[in-house]
Amino acid sequence: MIHSRWSGTHYEAGLSYGQALREQGIDPFVHFRQSKARLAFTRASIPLYETFYPAVLDEIWGMADGAGLDRDTVATFLLSMYSFAPQIHCSCFAFCADGKTILGRNSDFFAGIAPFCDSAFYTLEHAYAFIGNTTAWTEIEDGVNECGLAVGMTFICPIRQKPGFGAGMLVRCLLETCASTREALAMLCRLPIASAQVLILADQSGELAAVECNCERISVIRPHPNKPFVFTTNHFNNPDMQIYQPADADDWFSKRRYETLRNAFQTGAPYTPGFAESLLSGRMGFLCQYDSAMGADTVWSSLYDLTEGVVRRAEGNPSCSAFLEDHRLNLYTRP
């Protein structure tokens, strides 16, 4: 797993990243085919980013300039990513119990992408510092910021589409601009959402939420007072969102993984960091045990202890890769 570092202004950070790619002779778009539909979608989305999140466009333009790549190509790849059915299949949960708040997430993707996944450390001007993990760059799939806000996403194949923010850009924006779950929920209500996804939110105060959302609707699920947890895989569960559930999507055993999460939280076992690690590692049921013939795997697994301010990550399938502590981010929650 790559460990990139982004600092300075957004443009400077993108420029440095792009220059590094060019110096290494890396073309990240060698297999990318830009369609007219994706380009049109991107061009319709850019004015929305200019209004709500112009800084990330500066980063994209910097990366393109540094790598000597066409700006349209870079923007189209990143901004249309989650509106044109990528195969990202993940499991995510958060709990707050006995004074401990934890968010955990498995990132499931094609096994061949594992060496190119990035755990990026962002310390940009006029933004909260954060660690964010991604199968690409700039867009983020799970992470935690210096304020103790953690966010993880799971993708759902969209059946309706409008220009706006894809799942990875939603996560990125929340980590960079929000200090709490409450702020993140308010931000989501303002942003134009393009793709379909579930976002798990947790902060150092113990406030949790699962947000099922797409371009037409936002549905917020809060934990029950006697059930201090939220969890999700790759399908909607709120009745309000069922009309947006694709009928024939290949969701990589989403409901089977969901049952594992549900059963685990009903066992009565104490909700501890060890519980979270066991769950992510597949020791409590099917979650990361993909058949290699599928070409699928859990390419990383994240654990964010928001009470102690500890970030741990298994860089590879957590059933056989150890969770190691990441010391790059100084969370406010840590003494």
Q: What is the DSSP string of 277-293?
A: HHHHTTTTSSSS---GG
Residues whose CB is less than 8 angstroms from the CB of residue 37 and which lie 6 or more positions away in sequence, other chains included: 84
Q: Is 85 left (phi over 0), alpha (psi -120 to 50) or beta?
A: left
Look at residues 110, 197, 201 and name the one whose alpha carbon lies nearest to residue 154: 197
Q: 286, 260 in Cβ contact below 8 A? A: yes
HSE (side-chain half, CA atoms, 13 Å) at 51: 10
Q: Note the pLDDT of residue 88.
A: 67
Look at residues 171, 165, 138 and name the one whose alpha carbon lies nearest to residue 152: 171
Place of tokens 């579930």: 198
Q: For the chain, list the domains and their CATH numbers.
A: 5-82 (no CATH), 87-326 (3.60.60.10)
Distance, in Å, from the CA atom of 145 to the CA atom of 330, rounded to the nearest integer, reads 9
**Helix ranges (DSSP H) in 131-287:** 167-177, 181-190, 254-265, 273-280
Q: What is the DSSP letter of 9?
A: S
How is residue 324 written in tokens? Answer: 């190691």
What digits encode the pLDDT tens for the residues 45-94?
999 999 999 999 999 999 999 999 999 999 999 999 999 866 667 999 99
> Distances in Å between the alpha carbon of 160 and those of 17, 193, 197, 232?
33, 11, 12, 21
Max CA pair span of the chain: 55
Distance, in Å, from the CA atom of 202 to the CA atom of 180, rounded to the nearest integer, reads 8
Query: Tens of pLDDT along the chain (335 residues)?
Result: 999 999 999 999 999 999 999 999 988 887 787 899 999 999 999 999 999 999 999 999 999 999 999 999 999 999 999 998 666 679 999 999 999 999 999 999 888 888 899 999 999 999 999 999 999 999 999 999 999 999 999 999 999 999 999 999 999 999 999 999 999 999 999 999 999 999 999 999 999 999 999 999 999 999 998 899 999 999 999 999 999 998 877 678 899 999 999 999 999 899 999 999 999 999 999 999 887 777 889 999 999 999 999 999 999 999 999 999 999 998 864 44
Q: Note the pLDDT of residue 119.
A: 99
Burial of 123 (0-12, 13-18, 19+ CB in 10 A): middle
Q: Note the pLDDT of residue 87.
A: 63
293 bridge partner residues: none
Distance, in Å, from the CA atom of 59 to the CA atom of 69, rounded to the nearest integer, reads 13
| Gyration radius (Cα) of the chain, Å | 18
Give me the phi and psi of 22, to 5 degrees please: -65, -40
pTM for the whole thing?
Answer: 0.96
